[in-house]
Amino acid sequence: MKNLVAFAPPTPNLGELNQIRGIFTALMQCQNDERKRFAFNLAVCFKNIVGGSLRLSSYENYEDFKADVFRCLDYYFSKHVLIPRIFVMAYTQSDNIRGISNVDSMCRAVKEYYEQNRLGWIYTVAVNAKLGDYRWTDLILVAGHMLSEADKDRLAADEELKKKVFVSEGIVHNMSRLYIRQKFRQKKVQTLLTKYKNGKPNVVFVCGGRVAGPEIRLPLENAEKIYAKMAELADKGYNSVILNGPRTPNEVTDYFCEQSLLSGGKVDFYNSKSLSHDKGSKLLEPWRVYRGKFEEKFGVEQKQYGAIYPAILGLENTLAVHSFDSFASCETASSGIPTAICRWVEIDKNIRPDCYRLADLLTNGGYAVDFADFDGRVEPKDLKLKLLPNSNLEFAKRIVKECLV
């Protein structure tokens, strides 16, 4: 086997996209003999038919879903010569009720396409998935914080299930020190970031916000607490910056921007959310797109320097603060960036206990501090936090091992 080609379906969710890229990058790092040569295709893998992620739950029955998957794969193979042997899917955390079925049905349809077209074998992988009954998915990566006590007991007792599960500490992602340095050195952000090279410590709040359902919310009163804490740190001598994300509500985005302008830059705010006139926004769910009174301002800034996360993490002596609805805390904690977890987001623990478990894992394990306890007296560079293990490469090695058997 001279070439192992990996491919994946497209996704409008940036976090899932970065998880897939992280695995692909790790697979590329496994190239140490002739049998382990990886190529990958992502953006043009499947021709998108339904305007978003291709999921069984969007269809009335499996046969209709399968027909669209087959059309996507027909399109893919009309453009590519090499036959992929690894198919990677990212599990959608906000679709917990149907997530397992959606992943396994996609893997089933891909396997059936390969069989019908006599393409040989295909190894199917799910990233950051929930533990469950997967028939067609060959290997699943389950983050440790996603496992309930019942899950752990089941995994310990089921040898067959154990063979197809890889448990990681934290999540797979696409962040690294090298990636941060590359973004930091981009010319378009250098002028902007120069203002923070003033010898002061930095605190950068990366805000999550909400999901499609009611289980995660960021109301304005919580945003007010976040801003007040960031202003307090600015008064203590910090460069204080807030970044929103695709899931940050528009009213919260407007609040942060408005307060920043009123403060004269005591706390800076930069938008990272797609604007309503962006070409890519047509594929996004409406609540992920910014429509508000600062759209013109954000449009100008977008052309000037784009989204500054993660470039701003390249600044020395910086604390990256993540709201605890976001898995991005794993990115910075495993990249050696001092990290804090903010719990000022309303999360239904019955539906998303994983958010609580991850926050506890990071803070109790010494990988991050709790933002509520951070008073700025000990600067980020002196926090002496542990480095969170990066599971990408170990998972990639497991995939290669299984494929070369």
pLDDT, one tens digit per residue, over 226-278 is: 999 999 999 999 999 999 999 999 999 999 999 999 998 899 999 999 898 77
DSSP H/E element including 221: helix 220-235
Pairing of strands 216-217, 346-347: antiparallel
Other C-beta atoms closer than 10 Å to the C-beta of 379 total: 17
Name the residue type at position 24. Answer: F
Tell me the domain boundaries of the chain. 4-173+390-403, 177-382
Q: Give the model confidence (pLDDT) of 70-103 as tens digits.
A: 988 888 888 788 888 899 988 887 676 788 999 9
CA–CA gap between residue 370 and residue 66 (Å, rounded): 46
Strands (E) across 251-343 are located at: 267-270, 274-275, 289-290, 318-323, 339-342
Mean pLDDT across 287-312: 91
Query: Strand pairing partners for 372?
Result: none
CATH of segment(s) 4-173+390-403 = 3.40.50.2300
Exposed (0-12), middle (13-18) or buried (19+): which is 279, by Cβ within 10 Å?
exposed
CA–CA gap between residue 248 and residue 298 (Å, rounded): 15
The DSSP secondary structure of 367-394, one letter per residue, reads: SSEEGGG--SSS-GGGS-PPPPP--HHH
| pLDDT band, residue 343 (cuts 50/70/90) | very high
CA–CA gap between residue 42 and residue 86 (Å, rounded): 12
| pLDDT band, residue 27 (cuts 50/70/90) | confident
Q: Which 3 state secondary structure label does DSSP give 84?
A: coil
Residue that has been written with the tokens 């953006």 in this structure? 43
Q: Give the model confidence (pLDDT) of 7-17 as tens digits.
A: 888 777 777 88
Encode burial over 139-176: b for 16+ CB neighbours within 10 A, e otherwise: bbbbbbbbbeeebeeebeeeeebeeebbbbbbbbbbbb
Contact 2, 155 (CB under 8 A): no
- The DSSP code for 197 is -
Given CATH 3.40.50, say whether it is the number of domain 177-382: yes
Kindly state the greatest CA–CA separation across the chain. Answer: 66
Mean pLDDT, the chain, rounded, equals 88
Mean pLDDT across 39-52: 43
Other C-beta atoms closer than 10 Å to the C-beta of 105 total: 23
Lowest-confidence segment of 192-196, 199-203, 368-372 by average pLDDT? 192-196
Q: Is the pLDDT of residue 283 over 90?
A: no
